A and B are shown apart, each in its own frame.
Chain A
Amino acid sequence: MRRAVIPALVIVIGVLLLADLLIANDSLRSVADLLVDAAILVATGAALAGVASLASRRAGDLWRRRGDPVGATGVLAGMALILVAGLRPGAEGAEDPAVGWLVAALLVPIGATLFGLLFVTTLAAARRSVAMRGREAVLVVGIAIVVLVLLLPIGGVAGDRLAGAAGWALSIPIGGVFRGMLIGVAILAAVLAARTMLGIGAADE
Chain B
Amino acid sequence: MPTPAEAAERAIGFIRDILGASSLRLDVGPTLVVLGVLLVLLQLVARPVSRWITSDAGGLAGVGRAMALAAEAGTDAVVSLGTAGLVRSTDAFGRLQTVAAIPLLGHVARAAARSGVAVRVLVNDPLAGVAAAAALDAAHESTSTMERLGRSRVVFVGEGRPVAAGLVMTARARPAAAFAAGSLREEGTLHLDGLRGGAGALTAATAEVSQAAAPLLAAGSGLIGPELFQAAADLRADANERTMVVAANRLLVLAVAVVVIGSVLALAGVADPTELLTGTGRP
Please list the residues of chain A having a beta carbon within 8 angstroms of any beta carbon in chain B: 18, 21-28, 42-43, 46-51, 53-54, 68, 71, 75, 107, 110-111, 114-115, 117-118, 121-122, 124-126, 128-129, 132, 134, 136-137, 140-141, 144, 178, 181-182, 184-185, 187-196, 198, 200-205
Contacts and interface: CB of A to CB of B under 8 A. Distances in A.
Interface residues of B, number: 73
A75 B159 CA distance: 11
Contacts of B22: 23-25, 28
A187 B228 CA distance: 12
Of all A-B residue pairs in the complex, the 4 with the closest CB atoms, nearest first, are A50-B126, A204-B237, A184-B226, A188-B229
A153 B212 CA distance: 26
A181 to B, nearest CB: 4
B69 to A, nearest CB: 19
B18 A27 contact: yes
Given A188-B230, A189-B207, A46 B42 contact: no
Contacts of A202: 103, 106-107, 232-233, 235
B162 A50 contact: no
A25 B21 contact: yes
Interface string B167-205: 001101000000000000011011011000000000000
Contact of A137 (B49, B170, B190, B220): B220
Given A115-B187, A121-B189, A194-B38, A54 B23 contact: no
B25 A21 contact: yes
15 contacts: A28-B22, A54-B156, A75-B158, A114-B187, A118-B190, A125-B189, A125-B218, A128-B217, A137-B216, A141-B217, A191-B41, A191-B44, A195-B45, A203-B48, A203-B237
Given A22-B26, A53-B156, A203-B233, A188 B220 contact: no
Interface of B: 18, 21-26, 31, 34-35, 37-38, 41-42, 44-46, 48-49, 86-87, 93, 96, 99-100, 103, 106-107, 110, 125-127, 129-130, 138, 142, 156, 158, 160, 162, 165-166, 169-170, 172, 186-187, 189-190, 192-193, 207, 209, 212-214, 216-218, 220-221, 224-226, 229-230, 232-233, 235-238, 241
